[in-house]
Chains A and B, each alone.
Chain A
């Protein structure tokens, strides 16, 4: 590039070459191509969830930008004069009227609204499923802890983006959603009322909230999301992608396809596939038909309404919490020298406690697990979920906790749909939200351990072929076929940490923290299944004659 050191200045010959050289000599593209052109990315179908999240975000930016050209975030009163006849002449906010115009009078507007809404639903889902993949495979371990934190932040931001957008049409449904937010906010001790008045610019609903949510929705939240995505991808490149264990894969290499051409083609093509699927959904399935709900009015409400799926768990928690148990009242009246203050725990607890539990555990998990395992090594090989039974079980318990609250958001629909008592549905879900996670923990840990034992059996005794053979002395056996070296390696190349007992220090004392650590370590690793070792495999071949017989059997078949 620099002509001063080169004896001969490079002279491009073709037209494309000239343009490329012009740009390259000014931005240093050659170095970028050298670094990334053939960079290796491991391939696995579960790695696509993060891609889906990224692509849906791009689609959100594209469709959202279109919508901003027609949407007017004003709560001023107007009379609707657009094409949707049932609402003609109805008083409503300009925001709602412009949302109706987008749906009925702008060609392609309804399509863009539906693409935007469906993408938002898929975006949050993809972020969530991507995080579950990262959690269950242990991809958050060193050196990727900070990227896990960035991911957790992105999940919260995606919820914020979804919620701020959900309220913008200013229809009856989203207005009632805001009303609930207002009620939850007012329950916060000391500052709650002020927060509500500051957010709404006075009393609910006021005339400020839509404009404020709009700025958050189209400027602040997406800007921070973009920043976080940038950091997230930077760290992915820096760490290089993790990979599943298997033949040829080690903790110090990365096996996969080069960016150019295969990986770029697959990942790039996948963007169009995601876009295409979303377009097909938006073409065929109505989402949020705001014209059915009418403008916001504090008096009417429709029964059987549901929030967008990702808010459901908080709504469900609000439903599950009893306001009173017997004579015990969850709304406390606290006497102070200056008067009595109200502390409505029946709202505060469900609105905050589950979220605090889930998000604290989520953010802290890499360090919690590192403390339990006392493990300071880098991990670039993923765990198969079954090979980390306790982590997997804790994850399943968390998912169960979440899903039961989510189900509770549909308690009225469950009751009407299955014709059972609404009260009974709530009572059962109240029990399940406590018991469910515990049961899920126990059952899923047992399943993990059972799957590990099955792996051992396959490694030791081979695959069941389903062929029954009669031996010369009359015994019937089923032929087992030993697995090949590659499969054997996949089944046996995992670590199975053992419970660590606390070790006394030089004075022979065990600190309290060490004792706690010992107990937690036992809880994590007491039940374990060790991988098959070559020694065990050799011994099993001596003990069991199926394989031998099977081998003879095969010889017999092949010699025929």
Chain B
């Protein structure tokens, strides 16, 4: 502060010395007590007393309101009735509690003494206590002999370090090892693409340009670990003009006549990429807004995902239904260390 009227540096001593400033105002002590209305006027005092009692009475009314809501509003499977009961239970409780609470605080603020009192702080650790404690600790250490017998001390240390390890190891059976579980899905050559959740198969002819299907593999609804399989196998099916697709070499036959299938599990942290923008052919994940471009093999064009959605190679079987030509060629969903 260059402007000296805003304080001249050097008027305070550096911190860490005595802590008292050399040139400071004396503490004027507590300001004089200001009497409240109820302290001076007996009528105000009486009024405050009645207000407190009224607040307590409001609490009683609140409790009664709760019982009315609980016993006299039978639930009849309609949301309206449930709302009404919830409102009465809630307001009843609110009045019951606020009546008591506001009443007590009002009582304290208007009728109980409001003189501020000063109390001294004490040393958290008086020096005499410290000396006594030090002596006690030394005596304990001496009597235990832990310093004189390093053999005992060291073996105990070793044992105490090892002893907790079983407590960690015993949690091993919390779950199986990952194995190949994250790299395989229910899809395989010839598995039909079916609608989610009904499980009805999809004909290539049903998929018109611009439409999108939420797809599960055939047989998923009967699978033993349905949710776990579904969490990996859900697929989005879209049909574009074949000229709009730009497959990379070797993937030309992964689509069928403009119909492409991509994993619905976001490569970011695994939310379902559920929003399809029909005009731009973008897929958007509603959780963290990763955006994938279906025209360019679902590559990331915005957001936190770093990898394209894996593509499911598809073809058509003899009856005209869409089937997978194989499983996904790479693990679906969020990245993990072993993904490689």
Q: Which A residues lie at the B interface, using CB under 8 A?
A: 39-40, 83-85, 103-105, 107-108, 110-111, 114-115, 143, 176, 179-180, 182-184, 186-194, 196-206, 208, 238-240, 247-258, 261-262, 265-266, 268-277, 279-280, 282-284, 296-305, 315, 318-324, 329-331, 333, 339-344, 346-347, 350, 373-378, 380, 411-412, 422-423, 426, 449, 453, 456, 485-486, 488-489, 492-493, 495-498, 500, 527-536
A265 and B105 contact, Cβ closer than 8 Å, known pairs A299-B216, A318-B288, A341-B337: yes
A318 and B87 contact, Cβ closer than 8 Å, known pairs A265-B104, A530-B9: no
Kindly name the residue among A315, A346, A423 whose own CB sees the greatest number of chain B CB atoms within 10 A.
A346
A247 and B30 contact, Cβ closer than 8 Å, known pairs A272-B101, A272-B104: yes
> Which residues of chain A come closer than 8 Å to B14, judged between CB atoms?
497-498, 500
Tell me if A85 and B11 are in contact (CB < 8 A).
no
Q: Which of B116-124, B127-135, B159-167, B201-209 contacts A (4 or more CB under 8 A)?
A: B116-124
Partner of B108, one of A269, A284, A531: A269
Inter-chain CA distance A272–B113, complex, in Å, is: 22
Q: Is B289 an interface residue (CB 8 A)?
A: yes
Known contacts A40-B118, A266-B108, A280-B98; can you find 10 more A-B pairs with CB under 8 A? A83-B75, A111-B93, A143-B124, A258-B117, A283-B90, A318-B288, A323-B304, A495-B15, A530-B12, A535-B23
Tell me if A497 and B12 are in contact (CB < 8 A).
yes
Number of A-B contacts (CB under 8 A): 387
Q: Which of B37-45, B148-156, B249-257, B266-274 contacts A (4 or more CB under 8 A)?
A: B266-274
Tell me if A262 and B264 are in contact (CB < 8 A).
no
Within 8 A of A (CB), among B57-105: 70, 75, 77, 82, 85-91, 93-105
Tell me if A265 and B107 are in contact (CB < 8 A).
yes
Tell me if A529 and B1 are in contact (CB < 8 A).
yes
A324 and B306 contact, Cβ closer than 8 Å, known pairs A108-B70, A299-B234, A341-B338: yes
Q: Which of B137-145, B176-184, B240-248 contacts A (4 or more CB under 8 A)?
A: B176-184
> Which residues of chain A come closer than 8 Å to B225, judged between CB atoms?
203
Tell me if A275 and B101 are in contact (CB < 8 A).
yes
Q: Which residue of A lies closest to B214 (CB)?
A: A299
> Which residues of chain B come closer than 8 Å to A251, judged between CB atoms?
121
18 contacts between A and B (CB under 8 A): A115-B90, A270-B101, A272-B102, A274-B101, A280-B94, A283-B90, A284-B87, A301-B271, A319-B289, A321-B304, A350-B304, A374-B16, A380-B121, A412-B286, A456-B6, A485-B28, A500-B14, A533-B24
Q: Is B29 an interface residue (CB 8 A)?
A: yes
Q: Is B112 an interface residue (CB 8 A)?
A: yes
Q: Which residue of B lies closest to A113 (CB)?
A: B86
Q: Which residue of B lies closest to A322 (CB)?
A: B304
Inter-chain CA distance A254–B25, complex, in Å, is: 20
> Which residues of chain A come closer than 8 Å to B77, judged between CB atoms?
83-85, 104
Inter-chain CA distance A501–B128, complex, in Å, is: 37
Q: Is B31 an interface residue (CB 8 A)?
A: yes
Q: Is B174 an interface residue (CB 8 A)?
A: yes
Kindly provide the distance from the CB of A286 to the nearest chain B CB, expressed in whole angstroms.
Answer: 9
Partner of B270, one of A182, A202, A536: A182
Q: Is B126 an interface residue (CB 8 A)?
A: no
Q: Is B192 an interface residue (CB 8 A)?
A: no
Kindly provide the distance from the CB of A487 to the nearest chain B CB, expressed in whole angstroms.
Answer: 9
Tell me if B31 and A331 are in contact (CB < 8 A).
no
Within 8 A of A (CB), among B180-199: 181-182, 196-197
- By DSSP majority rule, is chain B's interface helix, strand, loop, or mixed? loop
Partner of B98, one of A179, A277, A298, A320: A277
> Which residues of chain B come closer than 8 Å to A331, judged between CB atoms?
306-307, 335
Inter-chain CA distance A531–B13, complex, in Å, is: 12
> Which residues of chain A come closer than 8 Å to B99, judged between CB atoms?
276
Q: Which 9 A-B pairs have the closest CB atoms?
A: A283-B90, A183-B269, A272-B101, A269-B104, A276-B98, A530-B7, A276-B97, A248-B30, A273-B101
Tell me if B97 and A272 are in contact (CB < 8 A).
yes
Partner of B336, one of A266, A302, A342, A536: A342
Tell me if B95 and A270 are in contact (CB < 8 A).
no
Tell me if A297 and B227 are in contact (CB < 8 A).
yes
Kindly name the residue among A299, A350, A453, A500 whose own CB sees the greatest number of chain B CB atoms within 10 A.
A299
Kindly provide the distance from the CB of B236 to the nearest chain A CB, expressed in whole angstroms.
Answer: 10
> Which residues of chain A come closer than 8 Å to B108, judged between CB atoms?
261-262, 265-266, 269
Tell me if A247 and B21 are in contact (CB < 8 A).
no
Inter-chain CA distance A324–B303, complex, in Å, is: 8
Partner of B24, one of A103, A179, A531: A531
Kindly provide the distance from the CB of A284 to the nearest chain B CB, expressed in whole angstroms.
Answer: 7
> Which residues of chain A come closer than 8 Å to B120, judged between CB atoms?
252-254
Q: Is B310 an interface residue (CB 8 A)?
A: no
Tell me if B24 and A422 are in contact (CB < 8 A).
no
Kindly name the residue among A205, A238, A342, A492 whose own CB sees the greatest number of chain B CB atoms within 10 A.
A342
Q: Is B53 an interface residue (CB 8 A)?
A: no
Inter-chain CA distance A277–B93, complex, in Å, is: 9
Tell me if B86 and A283 are in contact (CB < 8 A).
yes
Tell me if A456 and B116 are in contact (CB < 8 A).
no
Inter-chain CA distance A380–B120, complex, in Å, is: 12
Partner of B100, one of A202, A269, A302: A269
Tell me if B174 and A199 are in contact (CB < 8 A).
yes
A114 and B86 contact, Cβ closer than 8 Å, known pairs A199-B174, A248-B30, A262-B112: yes
> Which residues of chain B come closer than 8 Å to A143, judged between CB atoms?
124
Tell me if B302 and A423 are in contact (CB < 8 A).
yes
Partner of A190, one of B12, B89, B337: B337
> Which residues of chain A come closer than 8 Å to B231, judged between CB atoms?
179, 203-205, 298
> Which residues of chain B come closer than 8 Å to A188, judged between CB atoms?
337
Tell me if B101 and A186 are in contact (CB < 8 A).
no
> Which residues of chain A come closer than 8 Å to B70, judged between CB atoms?
107-108
Q: Which residue of A lies closest to B234 (CB)?
A: A299
Inter-chain CA distance A269–B90, complex, in Å, is: 19
Inter-chain CA distance A456–B94, complex, in Å, is: 46
> Which residues of chain A come closer than 8 Å to B104, judged between CB atoms?
265-266, 268-269, 272
Inter-chain CA distance A422–B301, complex, in Å, is: 13
Kindly provide the distance from the CB of B299 to the nearest chain A CB, expressed in whole angstroms.
Answer: 9
> Which residues of chain A come closer than 8 Å to B318, judged between CB atoms?
none
Q: Is B27 an interface residue (CB 8 A)?
A: yes
Tell me if B268 and A183 are in contact (CB < 8 A).
yes
Q: Which residue of A lies closest to B13 (CB)?
A: A498
Inter-chain CA distance A180–B304, complex, in Å, is: 13
Tell me if B7 and A198 are in contact (CB < 8 A).
no
> Which residues of chain A come closer than 8 Å to B214, judged between CB atoms?
299
Partner of A344, one of B90, B97, B306: B306
Tell me if A183 and B16 are in contact (CB < 8 A).
no
Kindly provide the distance from the CB of B178 to the nearest chain A CB, expressed in whole angstroms.
Answer: 5
Q: Is B290 an interface residue (CB 8 A)?
A: yes
Tell me if A300 and B274 are in contact (CB < 8 A).
yes
> Which residues of chain B come closer than 8 Å to A240, judged between CB atoms?
119, 121
> Which residues of chain B come closer than 8 Å to A533, judged between CB atoms?
11, 23-25
Kindly name the residue among A193, A376, A449, A456 whose own CB sees the greatest number of chain B CB atoms within 10 A.
A193
Tell me if A272 and B269 are in contact (CB < 8 A).
no
Inter-chain CA distance A298–B214, complex, in Å, is: 12
Kindly provide the distance from the CB of B115 to the nearest chain A CB, expressed in whole angstroms.
Answer: 8
Inter-chain CA distance A535–B289, complex, in Å, is: 63
Kindly provide the distance from the CB of A203 to the nearest chain B CB, expressed in whole angstroms.
Answer: 4
Tell me if B286 and A305 are in contact (CB < 8 A).
yes
Inter-chain CA distance A323–B303, complex, in Å, is: 6
Tell me if B228 and A528 are in contact (CB < 8 A).
no
A110 and B12 contact, Cβ closer than 8 Å, known pairs A194-B178, A272-B97: no
> Which residues of chain A come closer than 8 Å to B178, judged between CB atoms?
193-194, 196-197
Tell me if B15 and A375 are in contact (CB < 8 A).
yes
